[in-house]
Structure 1
Amino acid sequence: MKYLYLLCALFAAVTANAQSTSKDTLLLADPTIFYGGGQYYLYGTGSPKGFPVYQSSDLVNWHGPAGKGADGHALLKGDSYGTAKFWAPQVFKNKGKYYLAYAANEDLAIAESDSPLGPFKQKTIKAISGPVHQIDPFIFKDSDGKLYLYFVRLQKGNRIFVAPLKDDLSDIDTAAAKECVNSSLPWENTANSRWPVCEGPTVIKHNGLYYLLYSSNDYQNIDYAIGYATSTSPMGPWTKSPTNPIIDRHLVGFNGTGHGDIFIGRGGQMYYVLHTHNSNTRVQSRKTAIIKLAFTKDKPAALVADKNSFRFLTIDKD
């Protein structure tokens, strides 16, 4: 009887420990990670109230939502532009301030804060200028200090554009906006859609060459995937890589891989954070994952993803 009691106690302890360390996959679409001060901050699409933020010191153990707004939000509806469709955030630091660029109401907006945890607000609530609806913003600062905004115009499909961004990040030079890339290749529109989708821009500069990552196919398509194009100027013209797509379902084994952001983590390691479909039979809610990226030693360098580094981001269950 004594041994039976000890066995039951051991089983209970093991079960309790397993439960205490069980994890949930983070469910943020269009994710972005900002790294600063030894901390990683994760934002994404998923809340009708704005953008919650999750925090980690090691890219493994996440906690939150940790934002300074209600329910852990870094940006709350009412503090900045938009009433619905809060999509595709990006956090950018410039001159000691933090800026959150995002889409809402299928328009673009940029809010600011003193902390990556928020609260992000606009002094004057307004959208970025544009002739049509625009989504998926990405702020890029070149080595000469000039700012650019990459974004998607909903114009005969989802098409990626770039425009110079004002120094105070209040608006873009719409007259100087140029189209970068659209979905014109077979892998980019496997459904032969009349509205081809090219979206989720993110840009990095390496050895004087600009690399523009983008996602093609509708996000509900299992072939949603990531390619890149290069240019000698942040304004283009852009040349697509012949090795595209560099991240897709065949590489990582999960459908709907796309729409993320490059970030440089501790030790200078380059990553891409992205989302996938929830399962092979269900798109929503989309799962958040990361994968390591690297430049090859070729001249010019190619951009490659390490399939063995792919993993979903998780958080402890309550």
Structure 2
Amino acid sequence: MRKSVLFLVGLLLLAGASPAAATVSSSKPPTYFNNAATPGADPFVHFDRASGYYYAYSTEGADPGYHFGIYRSPDLATWEHLPGGALEAGKAGTWAHDWFWAPELYHNEKTGLYYFFYSGRMNRNVAEHFKYADFEEPSKVGVAVANSPAGPFRDVAPGPLDYHPFDPDYHDVNLIMDAAQKKPPATLEEGQSAPLGTYLPFIDPNVFFDADGRIYLYFSRNAYRNWVWDTDLGKYVEESNIYAVELTDDWWHDPEGRTKPAIAPSYRDANLDPADPPGTRKDGFAPILDYGSDKQSWENAHVDDYAKTGGAKKDRRWAEGSTTVRTTDEHGKPVYRLTYSANNYENEHYGVGYATADSPLGPWRKSPANPVLAQDPAQGVYSTGHGSITASPDGSEQFYVHHGRPSTTDNRRLYSSRMRVAGPLAIDLTTADQPMPAGVGPLGVRTGERLLRLRPGVAGGTEVTVRSAPGAAFDLANPLNRLRAKLIPANAGTVAVTGGRVEVTMHRPGAALLEIGYQRLRADNSYADVSRARTTVPVLSR
């Protein structure tokens, strides 16, 4: 036994004195590529510093019985699906029944609470919120809360946000349309004969916390019930627009998470008419983005859908899925940037533009460089859009995590694209290998056993964990990750790797060194060792 230990010590000294002997020549810095393997739509990504994980919240991807899929990743690429979902479906008191879309999450580091904003469509008390019981798209926004980014989330209070945005200047042409509700009036004059005023259905919440402590909710007004006369086309087009409302901050500072977010008093009943009966609510809003105020032709992919589909679809435009951030210019002056998606998410022309402003409520101007993210058939990526902005762990890089499709018929998948926020905003869509986000590394490889004691011919092993520098573990069941293991000397036995477990079978009594390395899948479908991501475990057999 003493000879075995001495032999083992010699192996360890050799490994320490001659690193090249244990390092594969193909070792490379860690990379990732967008392999379009993770189902997801409308993703919002939150970096949780306590755990080192990125959490992605998705319209799709939840298990049966839940709404909103949750994924986590150390590196914005190797996503691990968490069981269940963000919200349990069918719970008593749930205000929405379908169209659970566009989740977003915000963490209050002082209270430790995680607030989960989402949109949904209601099927009860519709007339109470939208005046008409047959209102087709009665969409609202809800808020849930949890003590962990993984949930479980509970609604802060029953019902959606207490917000009833009302447009008093809109001629509600749906009231003079036929039962199919797809063909609007043929002339502007006819449309203006419709009664004034409609309540706004809204989706795609995005909460922005400004540096002065004020909080804003950006949202997308549904295209439904928003027919806009297009002077260039000479017809009505149904549009979704982006609006905003300021929120109070008492909910954010509630340590119990029992206070529902509320709109600022200046917006409550801002559009109320003195003739309205008691108890009527008609709240205000701030217009942010629409087509007519800043026309861009790339947003027109669906303005002739009614004719193209023989009346099956409406002529529409979309502005949705916004994210707002604050930057500064070269003089230190605040510059606000808002990304948004246009066209229909089901179509390959879905893309992303951005606008800038000097204040959160504008006026906003679209960039002439739009779209800054669009389909790229050469790379096999389509329907790119509705993402969120996050930073690398060290804060030096920004990423736009969005959905896309690997073909025009596939479901939506998650993509992570580097972006530049300062200066002209740019998003770099690529399916090629690229460096991991800065601060994910250096990676650490750890084993559950410091020493393996085995009997000849009897397998035994150890669990292996690979962690990022912030401490998040890589999902070794994900094919983007792989362990490589070998014995030194090689003829001492056999090694088998399954996910995060390494099994060794020694042929005879003696000692050996088990070397374990971490590999990443590359875009060319080959694996490469990651530089310095390895460890060794002594093995004794007797």
If the length of structure 1 is used for normalisation, what is the TM-score?
Answer: 0.82
Instruction: Select which of 271, 285, 307 maps to 2:411.
Output: 285
Match of 1:53? Answer: 70
**Paired residue for 1:245?**
371
Q: Give the match for residue 120 of structure 1.
A: 153
For residue 226 of structure 1, what is the aligned residue in structure 2?
352
Aligned in 2, Cα 1:186/1:91: closer, same or farther, shift over 3 Å? same
* 1:270 matches 2:383: no
Deviation digits for residues 90-132 of structure 1, max 9, x if unmatched? 1111243211111111211111111111111124211121332
Residue of structure 2 equivalent to 1:161: 243
TM-fit CA distance, 1:302? 1.1
Q: Judge conservation of contact 2:400–2:419 (CA < 8 Å) in 1.
A: yes
Residue identity in the other structure for 1:188: E
The CA distance in 2 between the partners of 1:24 and 1:249, in whole Å, is 14
Asked whether the equivalents of residues 52 and 75 of structure 1 are also in contact (C-alpha less than 8 Å), the reply is no
Distance 1:41 1:163 in 2: 27
Is there any run of 5+ residues in structure 2 with no aligned partner, and where? 1-34, 122-138, 165-198, 227-238, 252-259, 271-283, 305-314, 329-333, 435-474, 480-498, 500-542
The question of 1:111 aligning with 2:144 is answered yes
Contact (CA 8 Å) 1:289, 1:311: kept in 2 or not? no
Q: Measured at CA, do residues 64 and 308 of structure 1 come closer, stay the same or move farther in structure 2, by a change above 3 Å?
A: closer
- Given that residues 380 and 407 in structure 2 are in contact (C-alpha distance below 8 angstroms), is that contact kept between their aligned partners in structure 1? no
**1:133 lines up with 2:255 in the alignment:** no
Retained in 2: the 8 A contact 1:291–1:311? no
Q: Identity rate of aligned residues, in percent?
A: 32
SS state of the match for residue 220, structure 1? coil
What's the secondary structure of 2:418's corresponding residue? strand
> For residues 311 and 33 of structure 1, what CA distance do their matches in structure 2 show?
21
- 1:1-318 equivalences under 5 Å are 25-37=37-49, 38-46=52-60, 47=62, 49-65=66-82, 71-77=83-89, 78=91, 81-94=95-108, 95-96=110-111, 97-105=113-121, 106-128=139-161, 129-130=163-164, 131-154=199-222, 155-156=225-226, 157-167=239-249, 168=251, 170-173=261-264, 174=267, 175=270, 176-183=284-291, 184-193=295-304, 194-207=315-328, 208-250=334-376, 253-268=380-395, 269-280=397-408, 282=409, 284-295=410-421, 301-308=423-430, 316=478
Q: 1:311 to 1:135 in 2, by over 3 A?
A: farther
The offset of 1:309, in angstroms, is 6.9
Aligned partners of 2:301 and 2:36: how far apart in 1? 32
Instruction: Supply the distance in 2 between the matched residues of 1:124 and 1:291 (Cα, whole angstroms).
Output: 36
Partner Cα separation in structure 2 for residue 93 and residue 278 of structure 1: 32
Equivalences, count: 284
8 Å contact from structure 2 (residues 76, 416) kept in 1: no
Q: CA deviation at 1:52?
A: 2.4
The residue type equivalent to 2:326 in the other structure is: K
Does the CA contact (< 8 Å) of 2:336 and 2:359 recur in 1?
A: yes
1:222 Cα offset (Å): 1.4
How far the C-alpha of 1:134 sits from its partner, in A, is 0.7
Unaligned runs of 5+ in 1: 1-22, 66-70
Q: 1:82 to 1:232 in 2, by over 3 A?
A: same
Q: Distance in 2 between matches of 1:113 and 1:132?
A: 29
How far the C-alpha of 1:253 sits from its partner, in A, is: 4.5
Q: Would the aligned equivalents of 1:44 and 1:51 in 2 still touch at CA under 8 Å?
A: yes
Secondary structure of the corresponding residue to residue 138 of structure 1: strand
The whole-number CA distance in structure 2 between the counterparts of 1:34 and 1:101 is: 13
Whichever residue aligns with residue 186 of structure 1, its letter is S
- How far did 1:166 drift? 2.0
CA distance, structure 2, for counterparts of residue 34 and residue 61 of structure 1: 15
Q: What value does the CA root-mean-square deviation take over the aligned residues?
A: 2.5
Q: CA deviation at 1:24?
A: 7.4
Structure of greater Rg = 2
User: Residues of 1 paired with 2:433 and 2:143: CA distance?
Assistant: 30
Residue 9 of structure 1 is matched in structure 2 by none
